[in-house]
Amino acid sequence: MDYSPLLISLKCAILSTIITFFTGIYAAFLTTRLKRYKSLVDGILTLPLVLPPTVVGFLLLIFLGKNGFIGRFLNQYNISIIFSQAANIIASFLVSFPLMYRTIRGAFEQIDPYIIYVARTLGLSEHKIFMRIMLPNSIPSIVAGTVLSFARALGEFGATIMVAGNIPGKTQTMAIAIYNAVQSGNRELAYRWVFILVIISLITVIILNKFEQKGSTKIGRE
């Protein structure tokens, strides 16, 4: 049994989650500070969550393809993203980003605004308020958003197959391997990949639940 889909899935999910972690937190922070066009910006950042993954993949093809704006620019430097692991990572990032962003944004908005006002009157900069107040009070949500983003990236299929294709050993993830096995009539192989994907996803959810239980216990003691 070729385990390359497992390695590719884990690699792409981990890398996309790292990107999502930083961009999601920063985007949530910036959005909470907006006074104008907040709903519009929030809608744009959340859009990949409600769009079908194939639509996200199609839009990526438009922008990253050889005739796309970004694709033409990269072609000048002999860089091609389509049908590569980079395409896998970008697709996984786009579909998982809204989960991280909305989870963190909700946590930031639940912080008592008077704490922020007091911090400002004491002379703390926005950066220090972010680092010393907003982040520490949002750790449970940050962990939850990270775990959910990883799980979403790990099981991504629609956008990935549109921009990365189904190249064994290169871009074929577990989700695509399951689809390929079913299409070829190899149910036994499909069952194996389903089992592996379910186990990894279940472990991820258990880790999330354990962390939330520890957080609730700590809050109860306080």
Residue 155 burial (CB count, 10 A): 21
Write out pLDDT tens, residues 106-138: 999 998 889 888 988 888 888 888 998 999 989
Q: What is the sign, positive or negative, of the torsion defined by CA atoms of 193, 194, 197, 200?
A: negative
Distance CA 33, CA 109 (A): 10
Write out pLDDT tens, residues 164-222: 999 999 999 999 999 999 999 999 999 999 999 999 989 888 888 877 666 555 444 54
Query: Which residues form the domain of 87?
Result: 4-221
Look at residues 145, 119, 118 and name the one whose alpha carbon lies nearest to residue 132: 119
Check which CATH number belongs to the domain holding 80 and give it: 1.10.3720.10
The model carries a pTM of 0.88
Number of structural domains the chain divides into: 1
Six-digit token pair at 132? 């010393």
Query: Does residue 6 surpass a pLDDT of 50?
Result: yes
Side chain identity at residue 203, one-letter code? I
Look at residues 170, 210, 181 and name the one whose alpha carbon lies nearest to residue 84: 170
Mean per-residue pLDDT of the chain: 89
Q: What is the pLDDT of residue 194?
A: 95
